Amino acid sequence: MEPQEALRRLIAATPGFMPEDEGMALYNLARRSRPSASEPIVEVGSYCGKSTLYLAAAAQPERATVLSIDHHKGSEENYPPFPYTDHKLVEPYSAQINTLLPFQQTIRLAGFEDTVVALVGASSTIAAAVTVTSSLLFIDGGHGALPAWIDYDGWVSSVKYGGILAIHDVFADPRDGGQVPYGLFLAALHSGEFELVLEVGSLRGLLRKNR
Ligand code: SAH
Ligand code: MG
């Protein structure tokens, strides 16, 4: 079942960085990955839950789980001198972004509190402490070289055989955007472990080959 009208409206109203065509492609990848309660979808980079809603819409009919990881402090690209800061998300006293409350509100409004589990902390800390087999891994955290490669190294081996690795903000041409996610995408492709199955906008879907 595709996301219903009410859910689509909530997705449209949720702040974030997921165009509808890419979100629907992510939803279809998540369906294809056959998530379950014991082989959840893992998302790195929750922000306010926009992409999470697409993933949860795919997980819910399977009674599967989405683990969504974020320290909820925003990425370096959410702070000056980068152009994009959403001032509604800045805490009044700390001048820091805090997306945890908006994320929780998004999930509650969608009725996905039983489906989505927020893991709040640095991606590398959680990766070091938690071992999980994921049906689909969605990498959309910090796009600087260090955080992105830490996400890749920390999480990519979680993807089950026959599962999906999805990477966002992949731009082959530097005029379109930063090159770090593209580097992750190339590494996955060149590892021989993955085969490209989807390209929509800046979203890439890679199938982990069976052994
Ligand atoms: N998927 C979201 C957008 C994510 S923006 C959407 O579709 O709208 C990237 C997010 O990654 C930010 O919320 C930021 O807080 C988080 N992030 C960046 N570096 C991180 C790190 N090292 N550990 C955990 N979260 C991180
Ligand atoms: Mg993104």
Q: What is the pLDDT of residue 169?
A: 97
Domain 5-208 has CATH 3.20.20.60: no
Nearest protein CA to atom 25 of ligand 1, as residue: 70
**Average pLDDT for residues 79-83, to the nearest whole number?**
68
Q: Residue 83: pLDDT above 70?
A: no
Nearest-atom number in ligand 1 for the CA of 138 is: 1
What are 100-148's pLDDT values in tens digits? 999 999 999 999 999 999 999 999 999 999 999 999 999 999 999 999 9
Band the pLDDT of 81: cuts 50, 70, 90: low
In a 10 Å sphere around its CB, with 0-12 CB exposed, 13-18 middle and 19+ buried, how is residue 50 labelled?
buried
| Position with higher pLDDT, 93 vs 59 | 59
Nearest-atom number in ligand 1 for the CA of 43 is: 1
What are 173-207's pLDDT values in tens digits? 999 999 999 999 999 999 999 999 999 999 999 99
Residues 130/27, Cβ–Cβ less than 8 Å: no
Band the pLDDT of 94: cuts 50, 70, 90: confident
Q: What is the pLDDT of residue 95?
A: 82
Nearest-atom number in ligand 1 for the CA of 14 is: 8
Domain residues of the chain, as ranges? 5-208
Q: What is the pLDDT of residue 3?
A: 80
What are 37-66's pLDDT values in tens digits? 999 999 999 999 999 999 999 999 999 999
Residue 54: which of 130, 106, 131 has the closest Cα?
Answer: 106
Ligand closest in space to the Cα of 44 = 1
Instruction: Report how far ligand 2's centroid is from the alpha carbon of 211 (Å).
Output: 30
- Cα separation, 97 vs 65, whole angstroms: 26
Residue of 71, 72, 143, 168 marked catalytic: 143
**Does the annotation mark 143 as catalytic?**
yes
Q: What is the pLDDT of residue 51?
A: 98
Ligand 1 mutation pick, 21, 47, 50, 151, max ligand atoms within 8 A of CB: 47
